[in-house]
Chains A and B, each alone.
Chain A
Amino acid sequence: MSISGFIGQLFAIVLALALAPLLTGWVNQCRAWLQSRSAPPLLQPYYMLHKLFQKDVVLAHNASSLFRTAPFVIFACMLLACAIIPSLSTDLPFAPAADTLALVGVFGLARIFISLAAMDIGTSFGSLGGRREMLVGFLAEPALLMVIFTTAMISQSTSVATIVETLAHRDFIIYPSLAFAGIAFTMVSLAENARVPVDNPATHLELTMIHEAMILEYSGRHLALIEWAASLKLYAYSCLGLALFFPWGIAEKDNFLGLIGAIPLLLGKLAVGGFALALIETVNAKMRIFRAPEFLGTAFLLAVLGLLVRLLLETRV
């Protein structure tokens, strides 16, 4: 573990913590532009987090210890995810701790905790949200895993760092499988981050909401942590997508200059990605909840198809 690696790792984590709310703010702003609304300030998420942290926690009488622990666990999971996804450099000392499969596991762990926390109060919306979250999860998770499988097969590794290194330094070969995987990944990301067309983070329309239904009972610092974790998740997914499909510019081992250079590149890519997300959210309509399995099923099938395409067309026999 080199010093530069360690600094890079620490920097990546701090950057994630700092940038994640900004990304959320950026997406909201882009969306407002696209929808011809007047946009909230770019730094609105920071204000909100600060305000929430200051507020008292109002806890339902029925809330258990699990309810109070969950936000911290979820936040920690997302932080870990951000720590192992190469955003600036592939030289991450934490990376061997968890490969892509473990990354999916981290998201799964967070999902289980948030769903359980949602069921803890015992309200109608809470359990509804928990159930729907698990519904989305059980389809999104294997789809994500299949996407990862496709990339892992190309690079013969499940380690995120190795995948990125391989993909970034390959000779220019068109991988049709990656196209499938990319589309599937986008669909999964939309679902996982509670975006239109699967969910809408902006409303509390009780019959359609998923994520918001789960966190209805949270308040104060708990809600702040969950919101922050949600931002981190969006950031993590964005970075993962960028790392898998647009890996150019991510610094390698012992390349401090590259690290410096990677920052603006990352900001640029995130900005474009955020805009794309806002665009997708704008041009699509929210689906009925029972269309969501179809949507995610399609993602799953696309990912499997990508895998098959990889095996059929791209392996040298």
Chain B
Amino acid sequence: MEFDLFLVLLAIPLVSGALLTVVGEREWAPNLNIIASGGTFLAAALLTADIIANGPRFALGEQFFIDSMNVFFVALTAFVGFTTSIFSGPYMRNEREHGRLSAPRLRLYKSMFQLFMFTMLVALTTNNMGILWVAMEAATLTTVLLVSLYRTPASLEAAWKYFILCGVGIAQALFGTILLYFAAERVLGETGNSLLWTHLVDVKGSLEPAIMALSFIFLLVGYGTKVGLAPLHNWLPDAHAEGPTPVSAVLSGLLLNVALYAVLRSKVLADGAIGGDFAGNLMMGFGLLTLLMAAFFLGRQKDIKRMFAYSSIEHMGLITFAFGMGGAVANFAGLLHMTMHSLTKSAIFFAVGHATQKTGTQLIADIRGLIRINPVIGWGLMLGTLAILGMPPFGVFASEFMILTHAMKYYPWATPILLLALGVAFAQIFGKVQPMVFGDTHAKRLPHAPAITPVFLHLLIVLMLGLWIPPYLTRWFEEAARMLG
């Protein structure tokens, strides 16, 4: 039975993606999209419950493996995918009625969205580091199409940069994977299992350190490009700003997480093989650099989506730093922060999406008085922004608190840098968002009422997690954190 559940999880997005391609843009297509995403989420939830109850398991031979770490990402991915599909229903309809998107583009959007979900789920659940790479590359391809959906010069430019930079980046990851395979084969022999994570973990202590170090560098640079680590991040703001907003939401909320997941898997192996802090130090270095650079980037942004893209970079830096520190607490905090960031950032992008649609512009200077046009969107954006800036009682603060306190304990020198970056980011983002939300305006109403539920659903969860993390979630996080070592 459980076998089927996993297949269902993968099959729903794949089949519905194909179906949406075939049937084209119909009246009920958005609903199909939502139903499919809902089904995926349901399957993910059931799978999660199953894993919690019965422990990790393989699927499709040994090619897929679901343990408490990736099932957590699966659940998160499916959830955010589901809410994004709800959000994109009215959003895309508005876009079509504004004449920005035609029916074929909408068809492309929906099918690519489902395929993107599929690639992400594959990337998360696969046991094979090679297939992980393939799925990551496929995720790039689907999102390239999504980013260029508007076919404007800007979106094409963004998509082109995205493709080239991530393509090149991911090529480095392939080299890293080859080196990993090379190292593993020396230990595991030519059994064909040498890329299987479960086998690799068993023998990680006997992998050749020199090769693994090289491999980790390539993997870090490769997948790190997708995570958005500075100075490899250049594609990220462009792609976020020029794609449709639901795509920005899933890029920030999911793709970055999945890329980071790949880095984490690599780190576990590298740590096992090399020992010491090699991988951790590299990640901490990248994390701090990313955090600091992103914070200073924020001040010069004129485009709201671009600004939040930089905010995503900033948070990815923070998370990378957290995982770089390692240890149960930091890993816990990192996982928590990933969750919080996914939920919050996608909620922000939902709100921003509606706001930009209402005002017809993405320029910060032209968006004013959202709270007057639509109080719900205004409050959504305001609260989301405050949440992402680490204001208690939202959950982002909880994870930032844990990261900061852990850093203070073990890496006191890093604390001023972290705080400087967080302080600057606060000043810049809040300074830009506040006048958008407050003040006077004269903007028009939209033909379709926005889907507000996702925004507040996300924020509510984030709020709850800031005050109370349910024990089973804690156990689950702890187990995952322990796996990361």
Touch A–B, Cβ below 8 Å: no
Show the binding face of B for A, using Cβ within 8 Å. none
A residues sitting closer than 8 Å to B (CB atoms) are none
